[in-house]
Structure 1
Amino acid sequence: MGQTSSKPSSSPFQNSQLFFKNPSNDQHTPPRPSIFSPLRPPVAKPSNFIPLFNDCISAASSRTQEYLLFKDPEDKFYPSPEVLTQVFLMTYISQSISLNITDSFNCTAMTPEQRILLGADWVWAVLQKPTKNPQIQIAVLVLHLHDKEEAEDDGMPPNASSESVQIAQKESSNKSMYERMVDFCSSIGKDCYALFLFLGKKSDKGNIYGVLSNNFEAAIGKCDQIDRAFIENFFKGSKYLYTPSGMMQAIVAKKEGDSLTLMIKFS
């Protein structure tokens, strides 16, 4: 962990920047369209990384499902939460490199210290061209079934005893991982999303789901506690689950400053 699938030219946590060109003084400016031209609603430009991103997610989900559905006849062995998280992430990274999408859609795995301080396992970022600055970011926290999630309760990775990890743990001990990730995303703005990725749910242990939003901080103002129960509650009454490609299309098409909350099925 702590390695990236590509080496971005700037920090993955900086806010996206908008660059404006000065008005041109060129006298040969093309004429304005006629007032009688048909008016059409703006359409989001297609992003060629989206179907490739979907292929990467499909590969990562399929590989992870092999472990989620594994049953030991003697009930002595099952993959740990850390292993399941790494299987998903490493499969995704391997596939993204193979499909050559890392120049437009970057994946940065967190170090143990970053995971504790920010509450995320990794961060996806849509990169601007040609600067490769992050334009849209998705911080991902993997959640496991209750009987397998002891290692994630306090955000301390197993066997992590370095001094820097202990310092990070002490500095963030007053907040849960859920709250740390929401704080991180809200500090960047509406172009940064928190994605809670469920590797199995009580009602469906063999599939992978997600809740994504750039507006979780609104719950803080209502004195609601951001925890697993709060996030799982989003699924109740939900009539539609997005696909991974549908999730990315919705994010890319969203108007600047708008809030967006989605439920996704990844497998």
Structure 2
Amino acid sequence: MGQKISITNSNNTQDSRFLSFLKRFSPQKPSLDKNMSPRTGMFAKLTAPSANKPNDFTRLISNSISFASTRTKEYLLFKDPEGKFQPSLQTLTQVFLMNYITQSVNLDLTDTFNCTAMTPEQRILLGADWVWAILKKPTKNPKIQIAVQVLHLPEREEAEERATAGKPISESIQMAQMESRNKNMYERIVDFCTSIGKDCYALFLFFGKRDDKVNIYGVLSNNFEAAVGKCDKIDRALIENFFKGSRYFHTPFGMMQTIFTKKTEEALTLMIKFS
């Protein structure tokens, strides 16, 4: 999959600096080819595009997200009887994206709901694995954006860190690490979304959590920066704390519907169960 950045900033100066900075690390291939013809097969039978009504559009988006979540859950459930094989964290993220992209192409969503996968360097700099964007017509400029950071079970992350320790890294990765060394991944994605405005949401996507290791959950907000004003550090503990005492979880459809109907500049925070 190619990768491009399709993100805007209401402040022209900030936007110019941001885009010029990204060009240092960004390849010139598009993430999704708009001329790509819909594929046929098992995925095409799941849902057919219906009338172009806002509610139908919301359902098609949530259908693609739910489909990707369900397929990824199959890998979270997988257990090798001999304990020799376990999907890597990168593989799990790619499984989600590939299934989402397949479904969104089949439903002809790519011209209106764009998915941009980050390069490894961009992921370090921005803290995001990919960015979803609802595009304005006819300009194709982003209207609403959702920057997604995937979080795995701590034991999986620790095992992966041990496995990759000591392996050589590229010069571009080293540069990205130097540029972002003063902030953690959670702070970077929040800073990124805050710099764009209330129409950009940070979504922390949990591939399993401590009390439910085989389902996918999310915490979405355009107001995480409020925690900084309360002298709280934005870290995993803060994000996981949103789940405590939460009795209600939105569905992917409920998440998208709420985002679409939210008033401009209104703060919004949601708990979502994706699978």
Superposition TM-score, scaled by structure 1 size: 0.82
Distance in 1 (alpha carbons) for counterparts of 2:106 and 2:88: 27
Which residue pairs with 2:64 in the alignment? 56
Q: Which amino acid aligns with 2:87?
A: P
Pairwise CA distance, 1:113: 1.0
Pairwise CA distance, 1:185: 0.2
Which residue pairs with 1:240 in the alignment? 248
Deviations 1:169-221 (A, max 9, x none): 11101111000000000000000000000001111111000000000001111
Query: Counterparts of 1:200-215 in structure 2 under 5 Å?
Result: 200-215=208-223
Which residue pairs with 1:13 in the alignment? 7
Pairwise CA distance, 1:67: 0.7
Query: Counterparts of 1:99-248 in structure 2 under 5 Å?
Result: 99-150=107-158, 161-248=169-256
Distance in 1 (alpha carbons) for counterparts of 2:130 and 2:83: 31
Matched-pair contact (CA < 8 Å) for 1:123–1:137: yes
- The verdict on how the C-alpha distance between 1:104 and 1:210 changes in structure 2, with shifts beyond 3 A counting, is same
Pairwise CA distance, 1:46: 2.6
- The verdict on how the C-alpha distance between 1:132 and 1:148 changes in structure 2, with shifts beyond 3 A counting, is same
Distance in 2 (alpha carbons) for counterparts of 1:159 and 1:108: 28
2:85 paired with 1:91: no
Distance in 2 (alpha carbons) for counterparts of 1:261 and 1:98: 30
- The verdict on how the C-alpha distance between 1:200 and 1:52 changes in structure 2, with shifts beyond 3 A counting, is same
Distance in 1 (alpha carbons) for counterparts of 2:168 and 2:54: 43
Which secondary structure state, in structure 1, belongs to the residue aligned with residue 242 of structure 2? helix
Query: Counterparts of 1:71-82 in structure 2 under 5 Å?
Result: 71-82=79-90
Pairwise CA distance, 1:3: 2.3
- The verdict on how the C-alpha distance between 1:187 and 1:160 changes in structure 2, with shifts beyond 3 A counting, is farther
Which residue pairs with 1:41 in the alignment? none
Pairwise CA distance, 1:242: 0.3
Distance in 2 (alpha carbons) for counterparts of 1:71 and 1:262: 31
Distance in 2 (alpha carbons) for counterparts of 1:53 and 1:89: 13
Distance in 2 (alpha carbons) for counterparts of 1:170 and 1:118: 13
Matched-pair contact (CA < 8 Å) for 1:16–1:136: no
Which residue pairs with 1:40 in the alignment? none
Matched-pair contact (CA < 8 Å) for 1:2–1:112: no
- The verdict on how the C-alpha distance between 1:187 and 1:76 changes in structure 2, with shifts beyond 3 A counting, is same
Pairwise CA distance, 1:52: 0.9
Matched-pair contact (CA < 8 Å) for 2:88–2:160: no
Distance in 1 (alpha carbons) for counterparts of 2:91 and 2:226: 33
Superposition TM-score, scaled by structure 2 size: 0.79
Deviations 1:205-245 (A, max 9, x none): 11000000000001111111111111011011112100001
Q: Which amino acid aligns with 1:62?
A: T
Q: Which amino acid aligns with 1:15?
A: N
Q: Which amino acid aligns with 1:170?
A: M
Percentage identity across paired residues of the two chains: 71
Give the gaps of 5 or more residues in structure 1.
5-10, 18-44
Deviations 1:37-72 (A, max 9, x none): xxxxxxxx8354211112111221121111100011
Distance in 2 (alpha carbons) for counterparts of 1:97 and 1:169: 34
Which secondary structure state, in structure 1, belongs to the residue aligned with residue 73 of structure 2? helix
Q: Which amino acid aligns with 2:151?
A: L
Distance in 1 (alpha carbons) for counterparts of 2:166 and 2:94: 13
Which secondary structure state, in structure 1, belongs to the residue aligned with residue 266 of structure 2? coil
- Larger-Rg structure: 1
Q: Which amino acid aligns with 2:257?
A: Q
Q: Write 1 or 2 for the structure with the bigger share of helix.
A: 2
2:3 paired with 1:3: yes
Which secondary structure state, in structure 2, belongs to the residue aligned with residue 65 of structure 1? helix
Over the aligned positions, Cα root-mean-square deviation in angstroms equals 2.2
